[in-house]
Chains A and B, each alone.
Chain A
């Protein structure tokens, strides 16, 4: 069992999915044990793969191990079902397999009693299959296949409670919005193939590094690829689906819309980073700009959001934007490090929110409050998640976020760094606000508060495991920790673009970001602790700003307007054109012309015998003349 057998990782959940789909109904407990077992097995299989990689990784020129088989091939055209294990994939796999195992266990408690309990686990298993495939894909085609697969699972699971109109609409919105990005991704993939003649990621990168693509061509292609990442990772301007995706069950939000699927965009850009580096610098500038815009949009919208899950969703967008900024500074290390710890603390936040929803059946923060006493474990875990998200020393978020600020300071304009630090302030504000409103103060809805109860052990145990990881995962930054675990060193020496780098504590970045974070917390405490009167007054004073944020910068409205007034009207115009112009005028018109001309010409039929006889004779004479003329 080594890296060559990596195909087993997706194969096991795939087999479980097939079994659940066909026989799930007849299995005891609807087969949830099978789903959890398969995903846990995936995690178990991950460990020998990791051990094998750690043996190999020190070798000179190690660049991952490729295995797999052909899927479609004829002549020179070849689509592979190929898998590649390298450091990048390992980091993602760790997050995907481990977090999904925990979330599946959590779901046993959360989804208990749901009429489609079995279907939930079936779909989750399919998701894990697709996600692992996405991570392991050695070629862009398989990556695209898995990419669409996770998107489809996301559609299924957002619309899990599809009897609710809002859930059905949110699922549709998520699928179509990401699909718009995928149009770009597919175009980009085929553009890359067109010159290189292969889908293999590694070969494409080599081809690019050898100067096979012209600069403009490559820039265009990678920007198309980036469009896919924008859709999947909910970056501006295709970010609108993610907050709505919270219509799905909370474990889905935790797994798909926080820890794994949405970071696929980040992963894709990280994978293709050598191409971005070779391409025109404009490509990376675009990545930075989009990431930074997303950060600022989401951080501000989160301050006024009132749905507990939506706030966490905005924080996810915020984190994704940060990772994009890190990639914009072509630091794969910083992005992947953040991705790694983010998987833990964001899943933790969502599962904490899920426990709150499960315990109180409320999602509006203004209906919650004072839950710390009723749900101490959840409150503790949520506090850990909040601190990690804000980035307080020594929680994991601190290390990862400082790494990003640090590389941004090295590589990007000062204005970007300023915005980043400001966004850390905003993050601290809205995360603290969320915690204060939900867990402290006076209960705002007595009925909900009375019934509130701590989550059952099957839910709280995974939460606590994640909480522990949210505290300690960040220490992987240190070489000593990495070596103790068997890695060649800290994450900087494990995942990197060109050369390994040792961890250096960024003092300036750490101090400035910590100041911003603590300032944000204090600001939020002053505004929202207790009755939140000040916050209300502030909202009144800056009414336009409040409305702008509350209405999500009117993006949703603008898109809806565009869909109603441009897309649907355009569709109706074409349909009208087809019916009235092409069909009724063109087709029926020509038929009408035939009828009309027939009607007119029938009058040449006099019905008189002599006329016909004369015509025959004249015809014969003319033919005879023509015949003679031609003969001569």
Chain B
């Protein structure tokens, strides 16, 4: 099954190539090609997740092709196309498969240059898979950029500009800010990668090789922040988070889903996979800072979300808040907390994708996102309302849904790591989450029916199906988290410097 990992990168790349060959007037052909590709990615991801043997938590599905070696400063295995999946990457690979599968359904109605849209979308997905699966820092960085850059066009061309009365957010602004921010983060990562390469002196960018070197304490302390901040930007690390709400507001539905659902995880994944596994002492030194920023983000995002009226802004800030939990989990530096962080990456990915899908579903019909102008929508759109409710309840940590399992692990880990104040504030942030979610539900879906929206109908069948897939995984993880915990815990317990 070694080809499965390679295929997850080859399929999106191939799809992008195939779509280029299709004349753009055949819109339906484009859609079905995208659907086929999305479904096969979904199945491949399920296979990878299911087949991953978690006995020892090591790499599986390994594939290593020589790319550049014995040249100048590079050793024999200088840069290799080294793909593998471990217990941390496996759930995230599955997450990517789920979100792109659902995302294709949510993008079904795009009419304007849908071929180009899907080409860029699949390029981005290929990049995302690449980051999760690369074990070579050079390719990891390459795929990281590949995942970020199509975002600019996707938002700037297919996004939407909104006038909020007191201020205006154009799609160009959102796209520009997002990409500049993430590229700025890349700069830090790039510096740190080369510093690591030179310090290790192994002439290789391969992570296992770099990981076998012990770095000096000062070196670790100096360069861990580069990874922490560089990847942290993409993870919505406070105070470098503002690209996220504005970017989401401008982005089209499927892009928001992928972006908040998967791309923000790349950042947290990078901190864990590169930063913490290479520099455990540096991570331990900077953990209090990361914890502080994480808990600040969690609270700050939740409070900001409470003040929003625009649905997308609310979901965008809730993403900042939930990614704050992920960073808290990473900062605990213990097994329970990091397990929780990875669980939260998955849980947040699925539920935020569902939320953005639902925002898109209502925006397509109503061309409005202000929750206060709706009212009683559950009369005409009962399914839509219940999907919202599931996503919202998961994000406020209702037991039985995915969010609870993850958040509980994080809180326990935080307390265990003696950040009692941070754990308490995190739990408080979860209560604030309840406030804004229920407020939104009460505004938009409950109460007397607002006749202005009498023309709104239930979601399209495709949207219902895509949403149902996401809900299935939210409930699955909430009820039976062991398949996830087994895989994650096996790998996390092998990480250096974890108590």
Residues from chain B with Cβ under 8 Å of A72 in the complex: 405, 481-482, 485
Would you call B161 an interface residue if the criterion is a C-beta within 8 Å of the partner chain's C-beta atoms?
Answer: no
Would you call B496 an interface residue if the criterion is a C-beta within 8 Å of the partner chain's C-beta atoms?
Answer: no
A578 to B304, Cβ gap below 8 A? yes
A183 to B431, Cβ gap below 8 A? yes
Residues from chain B with Cβ under 8 Å of A148 in the complex: 397-399, 404
A73, A163, A168: which contacts B379 (Cβ < 8 A)?
A163
Q: Which of A151-206 contact B (CB under 8 A)?
A: 152, 155, 159, 162-165, 167-169, 171-172, 175-176, 179-180, 182-183, 186-187, 190-191, 193-194
Taking chain B's interface residues, is the majority helix, strand, or loop, or is none over half, making it mixed? helix
A74 to B335, Cβ gap below 8 A? yes
Kindly specify which of A266-274, A581-589, A599-607 makes contact with the partner chain: A581-589
B400 to A574, Cβ gap below 8 A? no
Residues from chain A with Cβ under 8 Å of B485 in the complex: 72-74
A75 to B489, Cβ gap below 8 A? yes
B306 to A567, Cβ gap below 8 A? yes
Residues from chain B with Cβ under 8 Å of A359 in the complex: none
B398, B408, B431: which contacts A141 (Cβ < 8 A)?
B408
Q: Are A194 and B431 also in contact (CB < 8 A) when A75-B493, A163-B449, A578-B300 are?
A: no
Residues from chain A with Cβ under 8 Å of B489 in the complex: 74-75
B411 to A190, Cβ gap below 8 A? yes
Q: Looking at the assembled complex, report how far the CB atom of A588 sits from the nearest CB atom of chain B, in whole angstroms.
A: 8
A159, A191, A572: which contacts B446 (Cβ < 8 A)?
A159
CA of A164 to CA of B449, assembled, Å = 9
CA of A14 to CA of B478, assembled, Å = 15
Residues from chain A with Cβ under 8 Å of B428 in the complex: 183
Q: Looking at the assembled complex, report how far the CB atom of B218 sits from the nearest CB atom of chain A, in whole angstroms.
A: 25
Residues from chain A with Cβ under 8 Å of B307 in the complex: 568, 571-572, 574-575
Which residue from chain B places its CB closest to the CB of A184 in the assembled complex? B427
Q: Are A186 and B427 also in contact (CB < 8 A) when A169-B442, A568-B307, A571-B304 are?
A: yes
A145 to B399, Cβ gap below 8 A? yes
B167, B239, B442, B493: which contacts A168 (Cβ < 8 A)?
B442
Would you call A579 an interface residue if the criterion is a C-beta within 8 Å of the partner chain's C-beta atoms?
Answer: yes
CA of A175 to CA of B438, assembled, Å = 9
Would you call A26 an interface residue if the criterion is a C-beta within 8 Å of the partner chain's C-beta atoms?
Answer: no
Residues from chain A with Cβ under 8 Å of B435 in the complex: 176, 567
Q: Which of A187-228 contact B (CB under 8 A)?
A: 187, 190-191, 193-194
Residues from chain A with Cβ under 8 Å of B246 in the complex: 583
Residues from chain A with Cβ under 8 Å of B446 in the complex: 159, 162-163, 165, 167-168, 171
Would you call A77 an interface residue if the criterion is a C-beta within 8 Å of the partner chain's C-beta atoms?
Answer: yes
Count of A interface residues, CB-CB < 8 Å? 50
A77 to B393, Cβ gap below 8 A? no
CA of A75 to CA of B399, assembled, Å = 23
Which residue from chain B places its CB closest to the CB of A142 in the assembled complex? B399
CA of A152 to CA of B185, assembled, Å = 41
Would you call A619 an interface residue if the criterion is a C-beta within 8 Å of the partner chain's C-beta atoms?
Answer: no
Q: Looking at the assembled complex, report how far the CB atom of B471 sits from the nearest CB atom of chain A, in whole angstroms.
A: 12
CA of A536 to CA of B192, assembled, Å = 80
Would you call A492 an interface residue if the criterion is a C-beta within 8 Å of the partner chain's C-beta atoms?
Answer: no
CA of A155 to CA of B482, assembled, Å = 29
A172, A193, A571, A587: which contacts B438 (Cβ < 8 A)?
A172
Would you call A149 an interface residue if the criterion is a C-beta within 8 Å of the partner chain's C-beta atoms?
Answer: yes
Q: Are A587 and B304 also in contact (CB < 8 A) when A145-B399, A159-B446, A183-B428 are?
A: no
0/1 string, A510-548, CB within 8 A of B gives 1: 000000000000000000000000000000000000000
CA of A187 to CA of B416, assembled, Å = 12
Would you call B423 an interface residue if the criterion is a C-beta within 8 Å of the partner chain's C-beta atoms?
Answer: yes
B431 to A149, Cβ gap below 8 A? no
Would you call B412 an interface residue if the criterion is a C-beta within 8 Å of the partner chain's C-beta atoms?
Answer: yes
Would you call B177 an interface residue if the criterion is a C-beta within 8 Å of the partner chain's C-beta atoms?
Answer: yes
Q: Looking at the assembled complex, report how far the CB atom of B163 sits from the nearest CB atom of chain A, in whole angstroms.
A: 14
A74 to B423, Cβ gap below 8 A? no
Which residue from chain A places its CB closest to the CB of B176 in the assembled complex? A591
B431 to A574, Cβ gap below 8 A? no
Q: List 11 A-B contacts (CB under 8 A).
A: A71-B482, A75-B489, A162-B445, A162-B447, A164-B447, A175-B438, A182-B431, A183-B427, A574-B303, A574-B307, A586-B242
Q: Which residues of A contact B (CB under 8 A)?
A: 71-75, 77, 141, 144-146, 148-149, 152, 155, 159, 162-165, 167-169, 171-172, 175-176, 179-180, 182-183, 186-187, 190-191, 193-194, 567-568, 570-572, 574-575, 578-579, 582-583, 586-587, 591
